[in-house]
Structure 1
Amino acid sequence: MLSKAFPRRMTVFVLVMLLVEFLDEFTFGVTETAWPFIRNELDLNYAQIGLLIGIPLFLANFIEPIFGLLADTPRRRLVMVGGGIMYGVALLWVASSQSYAMMMLALILLMPASGAFIGTAQASLMDHEPDRHDQNMARWTFAGSVGMVIGPLALGAFLLIGSGWRPLLVLIGGLMMLAAFIVWRLPANAALRSHASDADDAGEPEYGLMDNARLALGALKRPAIWRWLILLQFSDLMLDVLFSYLALYFVDVVGVGEAQAGLAVAVWSSVGLLGDFLLIPLLERIQGLAYLRISVVAELILYPAFLLVDDITLKLVILGIIGLFNAGWYAILSGKLYSALPGQSGIALTLGNVGGLFGSLIPALVGIVASHYGLQAAMWVMLAGPVVLFIGLPWRTDKPIKLEESAAK
């Protein structure tokens, strides 16, 4: 029994998809930790940093829905490989940027390339085992957390040898293009929709781009879909948005040096890694929604305490506990969105980008608040995340409905 279950759950295909996510979060860990250095080199203010984070995300959400619709066609592998190559090129551009304008242009290219490569990899992983969305999203999140932990450590190592964030991004850009080549060389697979026989194996009809666009518009008429989209965007306040400002908060508000700020980032990432690892077996035993409700209540208590305490050691301890309890938020909420759209992972990806139009404005909003009222005040905006989750989490999961069935009704 075990010998049959293991290959089904952890294959070469699954490992390659997890590698793609690892590289993406490794990149994220490097760039977010490097913001104090980037700010100093390019002479940026809070508003400019917020715009560098928010505007590329906002613009990408107008482009990425096309990739999601194409992901539910036989062009999925082509979308992935092309996205991986452009991701690598964009990282080389970021590494060579010497001005605010050039950095903005490079990030505007990087964000949709990331969506094409990483988003399509996630959709492919969801299609690989449609009955295990929550569990495979937990594995996906854990792989990303490993990358997020190693990223700041790698940056620290490069700084110790007298290098910096620029050479490290050049190295990562090369690794991204190598990963794209590996995806290109993978055998035909139903989850990649890369061969004519795959559609028959998957048991799903093939849809064209316009068919998928019609189905996506139909899905937006369902309140349950909007619920998961809204909860996903607000959950990010305590995930990537908080992470984006964490190093700056410790440097500019707490008043520690850049090395200690890096320690805070490492504490957050390391404990989050532990939480993501523990989530994998946990979701085999309890319902994801039950875990979410408990963790949200914990965050409503912990985050204000983190902002209010002055002792740096206690602040780091609370930060670590916060990172432990928000583990699984993205994995479970994303899994619920995919489960609500069975057999349509590309459309789920597209609708996630639609929701991201709002979410991408949040980092810029935090930056603007910080510029007018200070970063200390702006950090309280993050508390909206657990508040909205506490209000919006359902007590039961809605029954999945195939989009073509919904349209027929």
Structure 2
Amino acid sequence: MFRHFSRFLLILLLIEFLDELVFGARETAWPLIRTDFNLTYIQIGVLLSVPGLFSSVVEPALGILSDLWRRRVLILGGGVAFGAALLMAAGSGSFVPLLVAFLLLYPASGAFVSLSQAALMDAEPDRREQNMAHWTFAGSLGMVSGPLVLGAALAAGVGWRGLFVGFAAFALVLTLAAGRVRFPANGVADADDAPIGLRAALIQAMRAIRQRDVLRWLVLLQASDLMLDILYSLLALYFVDVVGVSGEQAGLAVAVWTGAGLVSDLLIIPLLDRVPGLRILRISALLMAAAYPAFLLVASVPLKIVLLGVLGLLNAGWYAVLQAKLYDALPGRSGTALAANNVAGLVGSLIPLALGLAAQAVGLGATMWLLLAGPLALLIGLPREREG
């Protein structure tokens, strides 16, 4: 077992917590940021999309490089860049400097956070599902805490800029702490000279993506997101435009969803020590395939919200188990697994656009039925002959 793993685990989970804490606070602070910079909707769209696209190009290379070179150095460098980007955002006075800060922040998060996940997966290969469950819970806790921390910062009079400075200080502390622990050897055992070059590694990564097992987990990860982030992004609109409730009631529904998700992320941790992850996914996907249509069909708003909470509990472990299986499919190449997931994510990023086009054509109510493809894909695609 990896020596001093408990301390190592805590530091990496805090890194994921910070990343989602920043995300949750920033998403809540958009009205304040818009006012400070007098942003148009087009400028907000650029700030949300361009850094993500830029990072999607950079991160696969970082993932592959982390299998060839010293991953620890990349993570620590990412931590410094992450903190610097937050300071740049806090000190920005106009749109362009803020855009530059976000252009740095996104790939910095890839190096600091995503490569930390890869290191966590390499630390205990036999406990990937359990450690991914810890990782997911830490992220959920950070996302839920983000709006609360922003509210506290506003009440204290420091504003979103002061909060970002505090986040930058937290990132620096975590970077220093990460520099004091020993990381597990990556695919090349952190050797000074990589056995293959970057070009050869890129070719190997492309071949890896075409492997049957790797493709399976990449497709299922994207499909599962229909009942995770994509459903989350549509919930408020669905309750306002289709169910016909007020914005406050829609906010309550979203809060029920996120609260149930946090509880499920916590409960799945001990459950994975007793029940194989794939068995949990098969059962939960079957229950989800029954509960989600009931959620859409029921007319009572209170009952609909109760069923939404049930849905939030049923997706427990979906991301954690599927992501762990992707790492299992590429033993010793966790950075390549990240790169493959980033490439698949580029394709998956078209799903919200497709749903938007469908909603424009046939209405949001009818479009919501398309999300049922998520649990159905799991029921069809999960392997049945073995648990690994």
- TM-score, normalization by structure 2: 0.83
**Residue-by-residue CA offset, 1:2-60 (whole Å, 9 max, x unaligned):** xxx8x868521111111111111222333344567667874538xx8777655543442
Greater mean deviation of Cα atoms: 147-156 or 334-343:
147-156
The structure-2 alpha-carbon separation of the partners of 1:88 and 1:266, relative to structure 1 and needing over 3 Å to count, comes to: farther
Q: Distance in 2 between matches of 1:227 and 1:117?
A: 27
Within a 5 Å distance, the mapping from 1:255-270 to structure 2 comes to 255-257=245-247, 260-270=249-259
**Residue-by-residue CA offset, 1:45-102 (whole Å, 9 max, x unaligned):** 8xx8777655543442221111101111332122112222333343445557788877
- Indicate the SS of the match to 2:332: coil
Opposite residue 338 of structure 1, the aligned amino acid is Y
Within a 5 Å distance, the mapping from 1:224-373 to structure 2 comes to 224-247=213-236, 249-250=238-239, 254-257=244-247, 260-367=249-356
The structure-2 alpha-carbon separation of the partners of 1:362 and 1:35, relative to structure 1 and needing over 3 Å to count, comes to: farther
Deviation at 1:391, TM superposition (A): 2.4
- Indicate the SS of the match to 2:125: coil
Greater mean deviation of Cα atoms: 10-19 or 149-158:
149-158
**Residue-by-residue CA offset, 1:335-386 (whole Å, 9 max, x unaligned):** 1111111111111111111111112233444455556666555544433322
Opposite residue 73 of structure 2, the aligned amino acid is L
Q: Distance in 1 between matches of 2:86 and 2:233?
A: 18
The structure-2 alpha-carbon separation of the partners of 1:106 and 1:318, relative to structure 1 and needing over 3 Å to count, comes to: farther
> 1:146 matched to which residue of 2?
141
The structure-2 alpha-carbon separation of the partners of 1:367 and 1:186, relative to structure 1 and needing over 3 Å to count, comes to: farther
**Residue-by-residue CA offset, 1:184-218 (whole Å, 9 max, x unaligned):** x223433478xx98659xxxx85543343232123
Within a 5 Å distance, the mapping from 1:58-73 to structure 2 comes to 58-73=53-68
Deviation at 1:219, TM superposition (A): 1.3
* Count of residues in Structure 1 that have an aligned counterpart in Structure 2: 384
Q: Check whether the contact 1:293–1:393 (CA below 8 A) recurs between aligned residues.
A: yes
Opposite residue 228 of structure 2, the aligned amino acid is L
- Indicate the SS of the match to 1:330: helix
> 1:391 matched to which residue of 2?
380
Q: Which 5+ residue runs of structure 1 have no aligned equivalent?
A: 400-409
The structure-2 alpha-carbon separation of the partners of 1:377 and 1:30, relative to structure 1 and needing over 3 Å to count, comes to: farther
Of all paired residues, the percent bearing the same amino acid is 52
Q: Check whether the contact 1:51–1:363 (CA below 8 A) recurs between aligned residues.
A: no
> 2:26 matched to which residue of 1?
31
Residues 1:44 and 2:38 aligned together: no
Q: Which 5+ residue runs of structure 2 have no aligned equivalent?
A: none
Opposite residue 238 of structure 1, the aligned amino acid is M
Within a 5 Å distance, the mapping from 1:88-237 to structure 2 comes to 88-92=83-87, 106-158=101-153, 165=160, 167-183=162-178, 185-191=179-185, 207-237=196-226
What RMSD over aligned residues (CA atoms) do the two structures have, in Å? 3.6
Q: Distance in 2 between matches of 1:230 and 1:334?
A: 11
Residues 1:84 and 2:79 aligned together: yes
> 1:404 matched to which residue of 2?
none
**Residue-by-residue CA offset, 1:292-322 (whole Å, 9 max, x unaligned):** 1111122223333334445443333222211
Deviation at 1:126, TM superposition (A): 0.7
The partner residue of 2:69 within 71, 74, 88 is 74
Opposite residue 21 of structure 1, the aligned amino acid is E
**Residue-by-residue CA offset, 1:229-257 (whole Å, 9 max, x unaligned):** 11111212222233334455556665434
Opposite residue 331 of structure 1, the aligned amino acid is A
Q: Check whether the contact 1:93–1:106 (CA below 8 A) recurs between aligned residues.
A: yes
The structure-2 alpha-carbon separation of the partners of 1:85 and 1:255, relative to structure 1 and needing over 3 Å to count, comes to: farther
The structure-2 alpha-carbon separation of the partners of 1:300 and 1:170, relative to structure 1 and needing over 3 Å to count, comes to: farther
Q: Check whether the contact 1:26–1:148 (CA below 8 A) recurs between aligned residues.
A: yes
Deviation at 1:158, TM superposition (A): 4.0
Opposite residue 6 of structure 2, the aligned amino acid is T
Q: Distance in 1 between matches of 2:133 and 2:175?
A: 23
Residues 1:19 and 2:14 aligned together: yes
The structure-2 alpha-carbon separation of the partners of 1:234 and 1:163, relative to structure 1 and needing over 3 Å to count, comes to: farther
Q: Distance in 2 between matches of 1:358 and 1:215?
A: 20
- Indicate the SS of the match to 1:290: helix
The structure-2 alpha-carbon separation of the partners of 1:356 and 1:287, relative to structure 1 and needing over 3 Å to count, comes to: same
Residues 1:382 and 2:371 aligned together: yes
Q: Distance in 1 between matches of 2:174 and 2:118?
A: 17
- Indicate the SS of the match to 2:126: coil
Greater mean deviation of Cα atoms: 141-150 or 324-333:
141-150
